[in-house]
Structure 1
């Protein structure tokens, strides 16, 4: 099944994972150690703040989670399907994600916490945008599931069962991309603070243009 996976998925997945790792590193360093590319840590902070009775922080973290879901909703509305396929409107989703991060930078530089909400929405959109293909879960904004799947694959191999090497390679590429993006994001934040987010904005715009060009060329070749 994974052999049907087009080669552009690995490259695109790696670049998107780098983007998410970059944004998440800025989030951890700039938002009181709160990650924004996934909701596991945010949910834990949310629980702690409920126990401590900090109503403002509870409402803030609730908005972070809700905006992540809102980003996924936007992805569903724009792309219209969860299965990964060339030709769908990923370029438009990438432009919207870039717009969300642009607004986030402007708000964060003015000291508005709502900038964190929009950064979370951008990650939620990206996470929903790359979903499934040929039975493989292609997530680009968090790596817990990827490490779990790698562990399962090695466990199966130890039992003498076959392992889908293509899928394993994809997961390793996604993890490598996320970690690389995190390194770049951490360095950029030390130099530029929240202005570091302009880098993933430009990155997303570039990916959008590249994908649009690839999709247009593919449609032209089918028309010939």
Structure 2
């Protein structure tokens, strides 16, 4: 389970969560308060718009949902496995994510709603890219499940069961990364508007390079 996860998971998870947090903050500030790194709020807004018979808004929200799903599907095509394992094509997936975010930046800067869909697809791609490892769920684009898991672990500890400290550390790193990224996204949006999407895009590209170098060094010394 979590004890089997490689040591680079903490750093990589923090980085990925920071990217998602930044994109989500920019989305909330610039996409008419729409979150794009997770779909709970978007699904709720879709339900509200359907009740109000706002078909234009409903279609827009529905496409955001579909875009996220298509991004996750693209991840499945690229990586071809839901299991986190060194050597799979994560660098390529990260570069595509960066490309989607840059295209979203250009679209939104020109006033096109296409950018909403591209940003959502980028988050779906990332969420699909890091899913499970040895049965351990890794989430980097939303934190609701992480807080739920921490709460159930606390409850189990109160009943006298042992706590997996590695699991807690990973969850706290992911939550901290998401909050940190949200702060970066919010601050940069105040000064750069949609150009601020270049920051998480650059983060994804940098992580792709770091991962590629790490993988090849591991192969040489493996």
Given the two structures, how large is their TM-score scaled by the length of structure 1? Answer: 0.98
Match of 2:130 in 1: 130
Find the aligned partners of 1:78 and 1:210 in 2 and give their Cα distance.
Answer: 19
2:21 aligned with 1:21: yes
Asked whether the equivalents of residues 136 and 167 of structure 1 are also in contact (C-alpha less than 8 Å), the reply is no
Match of 2:58 in 1: 58
Find the aligned partners of 2:168 and 2:207 in 1 and give their Cα distance.
Answer: 24
Match of 1:201 in 2: 201
Match of 1:106 in 2: 106
1:104-183 correspondence to structure 2 within 5 Å: 104-183=104-183
- 1:207 to partner: Cα distance: 0.5
**SS across alignment from 1:7:** coil
- 1:134 to partner: Cα distance: 2.7
- 1:135 to partner: Cα distance: 2.6
Find the aligned partners of 1:202 and 1:96 in 2 and give their Cα distance.
Answer: 12
Deviating beyond 4 angstroms after TM superposition, the runs of 4 or more aligned structure 1 residues are none
2:35 aligned with 1:35: yes
Segments of 5+ residues of structure 1 without an aligned counterpart are: none
Find the aligned partners of 2:88 and 2:167 in 1 and give their Cα distance.
Answer: 22
**SS across alignment from 2:95:** helix
Find the aligned partners of 1:18 and 1:2 in 2 and give their Cα distance.
Answer: 21
**SS across alignment from 1:173:** helix
- 1:113 to partner: Cα distance: 0.5
- 1:221 to partner: Cα distance: 2.0
For the aligned residue pairs, the C-alpha RMSD in angstroms reads 0.7
Find the aligned partners of 2:57 and 2:110 in 1 and give their Cα distance.
Answer: 19
Alignment length (residue pairs): 222
Find the aligned partners of 1:82 and 1:152 in 2 and give their Cα distance.
Answer: 24
- 1:108 to partner: Cα distance: 0.3
Find the aligned partners of 1:51 and 1:135 in 2 and give their Cα distance.
Answer: 39
Segments of 5+ residues of structure 2 without an aligned counterpart are: none
Find the aligned partners of 1:127 and 1:2 in 2 and give their Cα distance.
Answer: 18
Question: Which deviates more from structure 2 when the two are superposed, residues 52-61 or residues 146-155?
Answer: 52-61
Deviations along 1:142-171, one digit per CA (max 9) or x if unpaired, are: 000000000000000000011111111100
Match of 1:80 in 2: 80
